[in-house]
Structure 1
Amino acid sequence: MFASLLEAINGFLYYPLLIIVLAVAGIYFSFRTKFVQIRMVPEAIRALMEKPEDDNGVSSFQALIVSTASRVGTGNIVGVSTAIVLGGPGAAFWMWLLAIIGAATAFIESTLAQIYKRKDKETGESYGGPAYYIESALKNRGIASLFALFLILTYAFGFNLLASYNLQSTFAVYDFYHPSTTPYIIGAILAAIVAYAIFGGGKRIVRITEIIVPVMGIAYVLMSIIVLAMNIDLLPNAIRLIFEDAFSARSFGGGLAGSAMIYGIKRGLYSNEAGVGSAPNAAASAGVSHPVKQGLVQFMSVYIDTLLICTATAMMCIVTDVQPTEELAGAPFIQEVLAQNFGSIGPSFITIAMILFSFTTLLGNLYYCEPALSFLNKNKRPSKNFILIFNIICVAVIFIGALVPMDMAWTIADILMAGMALINIPVCLLIGNVAIKAVADYNEQRKAGKEPVFKASKVGLDPNELDYWG
């Protein structure tokens, strides 16, 4: 009964509620910013290479890596594979569409996080996110606190629960796997490794992810390119299948809740997190001369996640003779695909990739919780004892995640993520005009040949009410 209740809540949240909110916000911000997510890609690449404004600041590249560490994870493999198997190849199209439209929302939320970011009086570092811009712009600490609570529940519990399950599921193809004992062993090992990393503090998280994320992403994309090259004759048909299935009657035959569109949107949103309100927490930590620079960098993270890595998984799943069955949904399907092309090396590669993806996802998720915990503690860092207890609970969740059923893990994560998005996106619609004015100011300075420098008064804000941009 509990599982059925969760499924009913999940179904309502995504259809029709979240679909409407995502579409309205993405289309609105795309037009209001004159499709910033397309026309300013070269400018985003330029901003990505900049050094931080001061020695205490996190660079745009580091902020991108942290946000990408959370975006690029187990969902890029298991989530996409599940969507293709259960929803059909058309799910890939809806992932692409969500990424392109959602990138505009990702730009807005990260620009707002920069504008309303706070300064840590002890360290001089900046921090922020949706909870902070909700409080500053709307003067409503209640809604801001609700968002912060949802963020903690989503990342420390929902997403970490799912990441742990997804990792252990990749071992099911091996002979040594026993369903009654192996998940316990994998969960314990993963929890121990993450515990070692997180007790080193936030800086260690940045350093670790900065090294691992590019390596794992490049290796995975290279593997997909090899698979596509080996099956190049099937590629045109695969592309045709994606577009045909996206709007086919068969795709919607089982009801909209199980359609390619819903699976594509759910797994696409879980993967790229555009509009969810997670990336702004990393964006706020960057030291830049203009908030728009970090907005540009963060929409590139959406593209890296979905248009590059999710597409790599989708194409490997579709360009294959392996028949998609419900039993193979998730990691087993993509492992079977690679086994067909590389023999026993294929499943092992996915296991290794999933270990890296899971590790960086778990670390990135916990990194996002720090600003939210501080916010709930009246903008003060929680005590060391509280952080210790919180981290211990998070490690326990990682262990438990390896033991839960697949449907339960996905449903819990989907519901909590939807809660975040349904708070953050309406807020962005209410106060997004500030970010829209900011991008106009940025473009005006660039056209004048200047290096853009932001002043709060240029967009109608009182500098005295902000920690930066005076």
Structure 2
Amino acid sequence: MELVVIASFLDGVDQLVNWLNDLLWTYILIGLLLGLGVFFTIRTRFVQFRLFGEMFRVIAEKKDSDKGISAFQAFTISTASRVGTGNLTGVALAIAIGGPGAVFWMWMVAIIGMATAFIESTLAQVYKVRDGENFRGGPAYYMEKAIGSRTLGIIFAILLTLCFGLIFNSVQANTITEAFDGAFGVNRLVLGLIIAAVAGLVIFGGVRRIARVTQVVVPVMATVYLLVAFFVVVTNFTLIPDVFALIVSEAFGVTEIVGGGAGAAIMQGVRRGLFSNEAGMGSVPNAAATANVSHPAKQGLVQSLGVFFDTIIICSATAFLILMTDLYQTGGPDVDGIQLTQASLQVHVGEWATVFVAIAILFFSFSSIIGNYYYGETNIEFIGNSKSWLTLYRLAVLGMVVFGALAEVVLVWNLADIFMGSMAVINLIVIFVLGGTAYKVLKDYMQQRDAGENPVFYADHVSGLRGAECWERGRDRRDRKKR
């Protein structure tokens, strides 16, 4: 009798979660993400296109002092969180549920989301605060300092901490153990405990240790995965036009519109695109704020490039691997998510594909765990600078890693979508309100750059700017001399 009651309760929770997700993703977020993305693109005069080359220049800049972390390290922390389950599992789920047309909408969310990412990361830099020898910041900070609402900042900080630190990390751990169970038949509990132990060694070392780990793991694993994907695409180059035609036709085709498939493609593309590149969600600005740069717009450009790298490069690589086979149609109901990616690559390169994808997932998802953890840490510190709460949060993260390693996380994925959607709604509205500051900061950057200078920002460059104490003249200015 008790089991029946529990099962009925869980079924009710699942139905409520699905209803809320449909409301968020069908009627609210798609309009906000696409509409504001287009708006920010126009207001910044297509920053993601006209300054695309500049993004590569600023990402390589070294910091001016020992304080904080470099632009590249901030990029790798944010990329560690971005590049993970969404790139290998999320893309496969989007195709399995929404069809090949979902890939097109992932691209659209990324292209216009690059402008959104520029706005939110620039604002995070403007309103960052000093934390000893480091910096921290993010949406909760600019909600308090620019809008004057600490309450809204706390609500956002709680949502982000629960979403990234706990729920998303259980999803990442689940994907690792599922992939290794399929490839090697390993004990999922043992693997979960090992992942938690190694993650603990990193996260208890603070932001600098996180930066040192991610700046090695992320570039190496991404490069290896892309080389394998490039090999597959090159050896099947005759299929490339057909794959592009399939993606576009199923995004707009009459058959899909009549059958409702276009709606599924858009919803899955937008949802999984946001889960992967995080543009507008309000998570990446927490990493952007940590960088020691001479101008806030530099980190806006760096994180805009991160969206491109995540979705247009890595997600597309996974999509092409899958769509160059027909397994997304013939693989059966049990072949979706990471199994679909593994099976598709196996068609191309043989039996070792299952092992390779499992190892790729291990590195991608592990780096996501420590990147996600840091987002929660900086928001815990916003709510209250308590070492006890921080220790409790760290232990909770490791506990959720073990839980995720064992659990069937369909409900957890759906809960993640609710938290992710709620965060994005709040953050998108706030950055729309504060966008004027980011536009002025970009204008200041362009004026100095066009004059042949290395842009250096001061708070008084933007008339009436308040709450940007890290950029006031005379305060730590020696850390940001012109080079």
1:424-439 superposed matches below 5 A: 424-439=427-442
Match of 2:383 among 376, 379, 385: 376
Contact 1:148/1:375, CA 8 A, preserved across alignment: yes
**In structure 1, which of residues 208, 211, 215 is the aligned counterpart of residue 213 of structure 2?**
208
Matched with 2:80 is: 69
Contact 1:85 1:324 in 2 (8 A): no
SS of 1:422's equivalent in the other structure is: helix
Q: Is 2:460 the counterpart of 1:448?
A: no
How far apart are 1:200 and its partner, in Å? 2.4
**1:117 equivalent in structure 2:** 128
Task: Please tell me whether the aligned partners of residues 85 and 325 of structure 1 are also in contact (alpha carbons under 8 angstroms).
Answer: no
Q: 1:401 to 1:455 in 2, by over 3 A?
A: same
Could you tell me how far 1:250 is from its partner in structure 2? 4.3
Quick check: 1:151 aligned with 2:160?
yes
What SS does the aligned partner of 2:470 have?
coil
Match of 2:145 in 1: 136
Q: Is the 8 A contact 1:115 1:469 kept in 2?
A: no
Cα 1:175–1:28, aligned 2, differ >3 Å: closer, same or farther? Answer: closer
Equivalent residue, structure 2, for 1:95: 106
- Aligned-partner Cα distance in 1 for 2:446–2:196: 46
Shift of 1:284: 0.8
Q: Cα offset for 1:390?
A: 1.6
Answer yes or no: is the 8 Å Cα contact 2:80–2:368 preserved in 1: yes
Question: Residue 186 of structure 1: CA displacement?
Answer: 3.0
What one-letter code is carried by the residue in structure 1 that aligns with 2:355? S
Assess, with a 3 A threshold, how the Cα gap between structure 1 residues 161 and 424 changes in structure 2: closer, same or farther. same
Aligned to 1:345: 352
Q: Distance in 2 between matches of 1:250 and 1:352?
A: 39
Q: Which letter does structure 2 place at the counterpart of 1:81?
A: A
Q: Which amino acid aligns with 1:401?
A: G
- CA 258–196 in structure 1, closer or farther in 2 if over 3 Å, else same: farther
Look up the equivalent residue of 1:46 and give its one-letter code.
R
Please give the alpha-carbon distance, in whole angstroms, between the structure 2 residues aligned to 1:269 and 1:411. 14
SS in 2 for 1:402: helix
Q: What residue identity is the alignment partner of 2:418?
A: I
2:27 to 10, 13, 16: 16
Amino acid at match of 2:459: A
User: Which of 460, 463, 480 is the equivalent residue of 1:457?
Assistant: 460
1:249-264 paired onto structure 2 within 5 Å: 249-252=254-257, 255=260, 259-264=264-269
Distance apart, 1:70 and its partner CA: 0.5
Quote the Cα distance in structure 2 between the aligned partners of 1:70 and 1:250: 37
The answer to whether residue 257 in structure 2 is matched with residue 248 in structure 1 is no
- 1:105 and 2:116 matched: yes
Residue deviations 1:450-470 (CA, integer Å, cap 9, x gap): 221112222223467623243
Which string of whole-angstrom CA distances, capped at 9 and with x for unpartnered residues, describes residues 110-140 of structure 1? 00011111112xx232211111111111111
CA offset digits 1:362-386 (Å, max 9, x no partner)? 0000111122011100xx3x21x33
Give the equivalent residue in structure 2 for 1:468. 471
**Counterpart amino acid of residue 19 in structure 1:** I
Q: Which residue of 1 aligns with 2:222?
A: 217
Match of 2:136 among 127, 132, 136: 127
- For 1:388 and 1:54, the matched residues in 2 are separated by 29
TM-score normalised by L of structure 1: 0.94
User: What residue number does 2:372 align with?
Assistant: 365
Counterparts of 1:386 and 1:149 in 2: how far apart (Å)?
13
Aligned-partner Cα distance in 1 for 2:289–2:122: 8
User: What is the CA–CA distance in structure 2 between the aligned matches of 1:250 and 1:460, rounded to whole Å?
Assistant: 54
Deviation (angstroms), 1:71:
0.5
Give, as a single letter, the amino acid of the residue that structure 1 aligns with 2:250. Answer: D
- Residue aligning to 1:165: 174
Q: Of residues 269, 272, 276 in structure 2, which corresponds to 1:271? A: 276
Match of 2:321 among 316, 319, 323: 316
Alpha-carbon contact 1:6-1:411 (below 8 Å) kept:
yes
* Residue 328 (str. 1) matches residue 331 (str. 2): no
Measured in 2, the distance between the counterparts of 1:148 and 1:198 equals: 19
- Secondary structure of the corresponding residue to residue 448 of structure 2: helix
Deviation by residue 1:125-175 (Cα, 9 ceiling, x = unmatched): 221111111111111111111111111011111211211122222134347
Asked if 1 retains the 8 angstrom alpha-carbon contact of 2:145 and 2:467, the reply is no
Aligned length: 460
CA gap of 1:415–1:252, structure 2 versus 1, over 3 A, is: farther
* Conserved 8 A contact 2:127-2:468: no
Query: Structure 2: which amino acid aligns with 1:100?
Result: I
CA contact (8 A) 1:256 1:262 kept: no
Q: Does the aligned pair in 2 maintain the 1:165–1:409 contact within 8 Å?
A: no
Question: Alignment partner of 2:444: what SS?
Answer: helix
**Over aligned residue pairs, what C-alpha RMSD do you find?**
1.7
Deviation for aligned residue 1:321: 3.7
| Matched AA of 1:437 | K
Query: Could you tell me how far apart the structure 2 residues matched to 1:61 and 1:367 are?
Result: 16
Q: 1:154 to 1:5 in 2, by over 3 A?
A: same
Question: What is the TM-score of this pair, normalised by structure 2?
Answer: 0.92
Deviation (angstroms), 1:234:
1.8
Higher alpha-carbon deviation: 452-461 or 220-229: 452-461
Match of 2:399 among 396, 401, 404: 396
In structure 2, what is the equivalent of residue 26 of structure 1?
37
Deviates more, 1:401-410 or 1:351-360: 401-410
Residue-by-residue CA offset, 1:395-417 (whole Å, 9 max, x unaligned): 11111112332421321111111
Shift of 1:189: 2.6
- Equivalents in 2 of 1:183, 1:452: separation in Å? 51
- For residues 169-248 of structure 1, the aligned pairs below 5 Å read 169-174=178-183, 176=185, 182-248=187-253
Matches of 2:407 and 2:256, distance apart in 1: 29
* Structure 2 Cα separation of the partners of residues 463 and 387 of structure 1: 29
Structure 1 segments unaligned to the other structure (5+ residues): none
Question: Equivalents in 2 of 1:175, 1:446: separation in Å?
Answer: 53
Q: Distance in 1 between matches of 2:375 and 2:303?
A: 15
1:51 positional shift: 1.1
Counterparts of 2:32 and 2:359, CA distance in 1 = 37
